[in-house]
A and B are shown apart, each in its own frame.
Chain A
Amino acid sequence: DAGVIQSPRHEVTEMGQEVTLRCKPISGHNSLFWYRQTMMRGLELLIYFNNNVPIDDSGMPEDRFSAKMPNASFSTLKIQPSEPRDSAVYFCASSLMAGLAEYEQYFGPGTRLTVT
């Protein structure tokens, strides 16, 4: 298994531009999570999906952020327009949820976003 795949690995963009981050979860996993990591705020959960349905988006900072999961093998996180304070590492993670049991979240390699 290739694990969680994220693209791009690095993104440098100018303020005001649209940014789209992509994630392919591990095959068979039914939960997908988007996290943002910065030195100041640590690891923050932005949004997560179960069975392609957004369950909790309370961590999405502003309306500039949106996420979609059109099918079980693909998700996007979009920032429009981007701002310098959005600079961070964005991780996607996936796991298997069965009943009320929690299972390990597997993280992707992350996308390092720099907004100038």
Chain B
Amino acid sequence: GENVEQHPSTLSVQEGDSAVIKCTYSDSASNYFPWYKQELGKRPQLIIDIRSNVGEKKDQRIAVTLNKTAKHFSLHITETQPEDSAVYFCAASLGGATNKLIFGTGTLLAVQP
């Protein structure tokens, strides 16, 4: 079946450094790629998303890049802060007339003050 691979599973950075999380997907018809942040004990919340007609999107300290040819997309967080510590999930939509998302396995980001 279709799947999304996410790396790394854990990431520790110093406050102020950048963090990069990478995902690959298998369905060539996928055209929507959201990123969710989940703090401990909380619900996943969308932080940024990108569609297949765009190669890059930025929102303040976070950015997402998409390479459709390689089926890769990445989350970039600059100037990390302790409150960025959380689990981050990437997801890809299935192609066709469906709004089903396939989620990656998550990355636990720890920002050390």
Q: Which residues of A pack against B, CB within 8 Å?
A: 31, 42-43, 45, 48, 50, 55-56, 91, 95, 97, 100, 102-110
B8 contacts the other chain (CB 8 A): no
Interface residues of B in 1-60 (CB under 8 A from A): 31-32, 34, 42-46, 49
**B34 nearest in chain A by CB position:** A104
Instruction: List, sorted by A's number, 17 A–B pairs whose CB atoms are closer than 8 Å.
Output: A42-B106, A43-B44, A43-B103, A45-B100, A48-B99, A48-B100, A55-B100, A56-B100, A91-B44, A100-B97, A102-B31, A102-B93, A102-B99, A105-B46, A106-B46, A109-B42, A110-B43
B98:A56 contact, CB within 8 angstroms:
yes
List the 8 closest pairs (A to B, CB-CB), nearest first: A102-B32, A107-B43, A97-B99, A43-B103, A42-B105, A102-B93, A102-B99, A104-B46
Interface residues of B in 89-111 (CB under 8 A from A): 89, 93, 97-106
Partner of B49, one of A100, A104, A106, A110: A104
**A99 nearest in chain B by CB position:** B97
B43:A108 contact, CB within 8 angstroms:
yes
In Å, the complex CA distance between A105 and B45 comes to 9
Partner of A91, one of B31, B34, B43: B43
In Å, the complex CA distance between A49 and B71 comes to 28
A45:B98 contact, CB within 8 angstroms:
no
- Most chain B beta-carbon contacts within 10 A, residue among A56, A102, A106, A109: A102
Partner of A43, one of B32, B42, B93, B106: B106
In Å, the complex CA distance between A50 and B93 comes to 15
By a CB distance below 8 angstroms, the chain A residues around B31 are 102
By a CB distance below 8 angstroms, the chain A residues around B42 are 109
- Most chain B beta-carbon contacts within 10 A, residue among A43, A45, A55, A97: A43
B101:A45 contact, CB within 8 angstroms:
yes
**B101 nearest in chain A by CB position:** A105
B49:A107 contact, CB within 8 angstroms:
no
CB distance from B106 to the nearest CB of A (A): 6
By a CB distance below 8 angstroms, the chain B residues around A103 are 99
In Å, the complex CA distance between A33 and B89 comes to 17
CB distance from A96 to the nearest CB of B (A): 9
